[in-house]
Structure 1
Amino acid sequence: MLMGIIKKPSIRSYWSSSPICSTPIHPHSMSRRRYENILRFMHFSDNSLCPPREHPQFDRLYKIRPLITHFAARFAEAYTPGRNICVHESLMKYKGRLGFKQYIPSKRSTYGVKVYKLCDSESGYTQAFRVYEGKDSSLDPPGCPEHMGTSGKIVWDLLFPLMNKGYHLYVDNFYTSVPLFKLLYCFDTAACGTVRKNRVGFPAQLVRTRLKRGETSALRQEELLAVKYRDKKDVYLLSTIHTERSVEVSVRGRAERIRKPVCIKAYNRHMGGVDLADQLLQPYQIMRKSRAWYKKVAIYLMQIATHNAFLLCKKANPG
């Protein structure tokens, strides 16, 4: 944790005796050799018990599975999120050889291990998470209908403990689909998210409608609202939370106010929980170059746990 606050070019420099660069807390806590040995021999599972790759119960995350199981249980039991929650993915930087390494150009770290997260929209608390194991990994969460695609199963897996409690879920166009939103609505969970215009079930009539900038078109079928809004480009959105109502909003750098659908305003406000958590962690990164991917993921999960603990402390001591 201190290494995330006090930035130095190498691990050895934290034990420097130079009067200019020294940080006494590190040598007073433990010797450098002991710290390096802890990092070197850090393990979370018995490798001799790992099923072989060809075994049906082979687990790509076996090396850190106990840590994942522990944190997942503790994160869920320690906090009750507010009404608005969101699902999105984070990318833990890793450029080494790894079968399930991902490339996401929109992220700060373009290569790494992808982690799906369910976060509280207001605080950024990580309520649940799932480490991506590769496109050929099996995902079969209990109770999830077979017809749900991979993205729908990810949402179901993360959200399942919070169903039937009246939550409002916000997701981006990777997860949004008509079948998923209808299914969640049956479990007292409303949802809102941007959607790809070619998604199955999204009304083609709405896609064909030509709009000028600032105009809105909407269609409703029972609980499901489909919206098209023209900003710099067309924006498509599905919601089981909102009505077609529009509200005035201010625009950065412009004096006049414009009208936007209330669902888009709410989406922009509540979708940033995962990004907020990543943003708060960014200044305190303690990652170092390592060929052992599981050690980097383990340290990353410890950082998430530290951030969650900080939010719990703030909640317990609001002053």
Structure 2
Amino acid sequence: MNKKYGILIGTIGGGLWKSDDFSEGFNRVRKPNTIIPPECNVRAIKVAVDNSYIIIGTSSGLFLSYDKGGTWIEVNTPTKLQEIWSIEIDPNNSNNIFIGGRPDVFRSKDLGQNWSKLDVGLNNPCPIGIPRVTNIIVDPENSMNIWLGVEIDGIYYSRTGGESWKKFTSLGDTSSHNDIHGLVLGQNGSIYATSPLGIATTSTRKLNGSWDYHNFERLSKNDKRSYCRGLILKTDDFNTIFVGQGDNIPGNKGGIQNSTDGGKTWKLSELSHKSNSLIYCFATSKRFPDLIVAASIYGYIYITVDRGNYWTKQHQEFGEIRSIAIVDYLD
């Protein structure tokens, strides 16, 4: 294969789409290479750190590919009655998979053949009814440390590989402060989280630490609010942070905020075309750290290859996007 990388797009009602280096646009992943239903919802895509497989979470179950998205098989799914909102693969042992639903969390130690439900203790119901597990992170330095971001129920963590859980320090006084949309682990024990209100940062992963909130200015004077969702760190520079912004969810405009000093200062990145809605999610990879892909909730795809200074909108558009991933073809 002469291509360097592939891009996967997970949509609402349109299944999974794939492109090779953006050179020939995107094509829907369909038969005969897959049994993924072409009109399913795909809210979660995860590529193993060792690049051995890709797993996606859909409204029709879990599907796995061992050939970089060429063909897919269905794996045992413990959440038949729950849509899958998040997936994590243990970066130190790719046999270990975690999935987050609405509201349950499950763990498999054998590549999805068997699953156990984890007793996290989420508040159910939460202010929006049933909570959604929007983020799962296994600490690459110690797989016993696992973090969950929950909508609208804050952050939970485990020091025991998922056997027991505690609720982390509250991000603020309101439910919006604790409506976790994005969650990443930074350098030197730091944590970044996005909520509708902005981005919150703490310098410690110990309980009773404090959070600092940064609230972004509205994209235009007439907007009723600034609303944040997507969050990603540059893989070769954890001081470079990108946050997806909008005027609401789904909203009718969007922007990408960029910090190169660990969140101390921010600037609004330049987009080749105005976004039609909130910037919902991002993707990048270790091999191609300057390549970052962003998606608006209503189907615009943007790509940057210059550390996020300028983002080019791709010609092809989608209905609704909820997940994206970059697949390394060179490994």
TM interval, shorter chain, is under 0.3
Larger Cα-atom Rg? 1
Greater RCO structure (CA 8 Å; 6+ sep):
1
Give 1 or 2: higher helix fraction.
1
TM-score (norm 1): 0.26
Structure having the higher strand fraction is 2
Q: Scaled by the length of structure 2, what TM-score is found?
A: 0.26
